[in-house]
Amino acid sequence: MVTGHGRLERIVRLWLPVGFFLVLALFPFYWMAITSIKPNAELYNRNVMPLIVHAPTLKHYVDLLTKTSFLVWTWNTMLIATVATGISLVLGTMLAYPLARMRFAGAGLIAMTVAAIYLVPQPLLFIPLADIINRLDLGNTLTSVILTYPTMLVPFCAWLLLGYFKTVPRELEEAARIDGANRVQTILKIFLPLCMPGFISAGIFAFTLSQNEFLYALIFLTKTSVRTVPIGVIAELIRGDVFYWGQLMAGALLGSIPVALIYSFFVEHYVAGLTGSIKG
């Protein structure tokens, strides 16, 4: 039976730190939410308590959706992130599987190289990629970023999947081969279905990175009609020294909803994928 002293100790040792970090994690979203529903009179009034809204309004959301191309930016962002994530998962799987399941000379060196490539700063890759995009005449097209994002996503997906692939027992593949399945059938029907948590984990990470990517989108997408949410919000709602804070926060809050929903629906698979990768 838990005594009063035991309850107090549990609160101090467990729930107090949990509550502190929960408030710390959710505070930016609370700040965005209250700023997005504050009228301009409250936003620029220093005498008003910043954490309280006295006269909430949806005007900033209405202006964002009607006076800017936010819906177009959202569509561009989702399209780019989805296609880039799909390409990266396919190529990452093709790279990670032989490194994890086959024995050949130089496999360890290649695995280390994959991890090292992911750590290369984006600005170092920007110049050669920009030259390629210009030669292909793909400037101001969604294809330009769809082709460049996998340069940072494929090494990451391969590294994450490599660790998860190593946790799958080899006996399952060997049993399938004994039953008459060839290598391709074994991969498609036995191996890949078992690795679904790893794919979901890598896919969520890749989708998040694609959605939030700033440098390549800023350089390659200069027209309003092809911009993504991070670039469109910054370029259209910051004009000189004028910041449209209400619309900026509304755009930031709406832009974070898709990823938040994805994480909430697939959190169990996401954690399982990360656990498998760490064990590997």
Domain boundaries, the chain: 1-57, 59-279
CA distances to 24, 85, 123, 182 from 20, rounded to whole Å, are 6, 34, 36, 54
Residue 91 has a pLDDT of 93
Q: What percent of the chain has pLDDT over 70?
A: 92
Residue 195 has a pLDDT of 83
Which of 1-5, 36-40, 136-140 shows the lowest mean pLDDT across its residues? Answer: 1-5
Residue 278's pLDDT band (boundaries 50, 70, 90)? very low
Residue 269's pLDDT band (boundaries 50, 70, 90)? low
Residue (of 204, 209, 79) closest to 143 by Cα position? 79
Residue 102 has a pLDDT of 76
Q: How many angstroms separate the CA atoms of 134 and 154, rounded?
A: 22
CATH of 59-279, one of 3.40.50.1970, 3.40.50.12780, 3.30.43.10, 1.10.3720.10: 1.10.3720.10
pLDDT in tens, 82-132: 999 999 999 999 888 888 877 777 777 887 887 777 777 877 888 888 888
The residue whose two tokens read 């309004």 is 57
The total of other beta-carbon atoms located within 10 Å of residue 7's CB is 10
- Residue 108 burial by Cβ neighbours in a 10 Å radius (0-12, 13-18, 19+): exposed
Q: How many angstroms separate the CA atoms of 77 and 71, rounded?
A: 10
Q: How many angstroms separate the CA atoms of 152 and 129, rounded?
A: 12
Q: How many angstroms separate the CA atoms of 87 and 83, rounded?
A: 6
Residue (of 233, 208, 209, 211) closest to 70 by Cα position? 233
Residue 249 has a pLDDT of 92
Residue 148 has a pLDDT of 92
pLDDT in tens, 123-173: 788 888 888 898 999 888 999 999 999 988 998 888 888 888 888 888 887
- pLDDT of 280 above 60: no
pLDDT in tens, 205-248: 899 889 988 889 988 998 989 999 999 998 888 887 788 888 99
Please report, as a single letter, which amino acid is at residue 262: I
**Alpha helices for the chain (secondary structure H):** 4-10, 16-36, 40-43, 59-67, 70-101, 107-118, 122-135, 142-148, 150-165, 170-178, 183-186, 192-194, 196-212, 215-220, 229-237, 245-265, 267-279
CA distances to 36, 77, 89, 170 from 198, rounded to whole Å, are 36, 24, 10, 17
Residue 277's pLDDT band (boundaries 50, 70, 90)? very low
Q: What is the largest CA-CA distance in the chain?
A: 77
Residue 1 has a pLDDT of 47
- pLDDT of 259 above 50: yes
Instruction: Identify which has the larger pLDDT, 2 or 155.
Output: 155
Q: What's the whole-model pTM score?
A: 0.83
pLDDT in tens, 42-73: 888 877 777 888 888 999 999 999 989 999 99
Angle between helices 59-67 and 245-265 (to 10 degrees): 90
